Structure 1
């Protein structure tokens, strides 16, 4: 068997093992927003159609994939889902995120926090305190609604429109301070701004005299699971400084999301190695 056949593509190149090719197929299907046929999977993975079809058949037999006889497309099967759930149980999000919180606090000089979503609220699970003598701190384990404060709004804005609609329709927008958003219309406008910027800002909305900037973090499947924030005294968070902090929070949130297994939107499974000449 020549090297082109070992590679699985139509060109000569370094061979990939059968396991590597099977994993590339599973990865391509897992990353796609919709079920895929064999031609698309072959294109995404750089495999020949014949090799892709053989691997797909074996993965279906092993229950890692499901095949729809009517539409001729493949989806993840119970075997793959079981592995994914086991991996999620093993993830320690605070431990993974902590070094990023430390680095962000050192860069900004402010307290940084990590919140995780719990249903229609979010909970503070970690913080790195500012080195300033006068600094902000949060109560770890405390729960807060998704409309009050930057950490909450960052999560809410990252949810699909349907979930945002559910929250607005079925939850009272109670005030936490005089600055809390309590109008459904104002909250929807704020969500639009957050989505455009990529980060949320709060000025006394959850705690009077405090300000914060937050961005969402995502799990491997692309779902928002929490947020990180930089927080400090309200007087120190000017508009221009909040913009600068927003860029830094976005970068830190993206790094945490990548460590949790999320790929940048639009990325695909690794293609076959390029041919040698």
Structure 2
């Protein structure tokens, strides 16, 4: 995705090659590495699998090594093992390696055993029938939201239908709705740690603008995002709380500004999205 006028939350210059939030283990990650219970070989395997997060093509052994920060010998052993187990495969055109089919088994396990997703599924289906626009369920993971369910409209591309895609908290409707359910200190922490690169020319990256959108979401009970991730898109987000009352997920309803003005979109869909979020949230 192209970026326009890259800047971070504090006005400094940042690279424009990627705006995808961090996910998985990366080179240099050492959390718990000194704990005697921490298994380094498992961490290396996860680092190798995580090297595919930011790529749009098969990776060679050398490219995997660069992406995950491991030496050639270690990468070769890990890739061989994961390939034997079905978690890495050779690309059909033999240009390198790609994730293997066995990874889907674990994605299914997560989706079917997550109680929030189980509670949300029938509610989301009913909401999609009522709004006839795109409906998403995203889960909070520190500075990003990860899509766990995506019920599409007629306009969506293949990439937009994929479960597991993630977006930053700071500039999304669901993220702003979640921040609105947090304390001011927690909101500041998210802003300070976020790499606030713009997705479009309209993405709000200045801290004061993000704070203002969070205040609006608190007042309204939902957040509105205009062209923050995709040009021409309008989206409403409502937070979902867990059993401890803390926000842990969000519902998004998204449409096109070619078909909706913000006032009409909010009047039509905000009450429905809010009702759905309440039905999913633990009381």
Query: Does the TM-score normalized on the shorter chain lie above 0.5?
Result: yes
- Residue number in structure 2 paired with 1:219: 242
Give the aligned partner of residue 256 of structure 1.
280
Q: Which runs of 5+ in 1 are unaligned?
A: 1-89, 264-277
Give distance in 2, aligned partners of 1:145 and 1:115. 11
1:243 deviates by 2.5
Aligned 8 A contact 1:230 1:249 in 2: yes
| 1:242 aligned residue (266, 271, 278) | 266
Q: How far did 1:92 drift?
A: 2.3
Structure 2: how far apart are the matches of 1:211 and 1:152? Answer: 14
Describe the shift of the 1:91–1:138 C-alpha distance in structure 2 as closer, same or farther (beyond 3 A): closer
Alignment of 1:186-225 (within 5 A): 186-225=209-248
CA-to-aligned-CA distance 1:12-31 (integer Å, 9 cap, x gap): xxxxxxxxxxxxxxxxxxxx
Match of 1:166 in 2: 189
Q: Which residues in structure 2 correspond to 1:28-177 (within 5 Å)?
A: 91-130=114-153, 133-135=154-156, 137-177=160-200
Which residue is 2:252 aligned to? 229
Deviations 1:80-116 (A, max 9, x none): xxxxxxxxxx642222101111111111111110000
The alpha carbon displacement at 1:120 in A equals: 1.5
Report the Cα distance in structure 2 between the residues aligned to 1:152 and 1:236, rounded to whole angstroms: 24
SS in 1 for 2:147: strand
3-state SS in 2 of match to 1:236: coil
Gaps spanning 5+ residues in structure 2: where? 1-112
Q: Give, in whole Å, the separation in 2 of the partners of 1:250 and 1:209.
A: 23
Greater C-alpha radius of gyration: 1
Check whether the contact 1:101–1:127 (CA below 8 A) recurs between aligned residues. no
Q: RMSD of the alignment, in Å? A: 1.9
Spell out, residue by residue over 1:178-229, the C-alpha distance to the aligned partner (whole angstroms, 9 max, x if none). 1111110111111100000011111211111222111000001100001001
| Higher normalized helix content (fraction of residues) | 1
Alignment length (residue pairs) = 169
TM-score normalised to the size of structure 2? 0.56
C-alpha contact (below 8 Å) 2:151/2:161 kept by paired residues: no
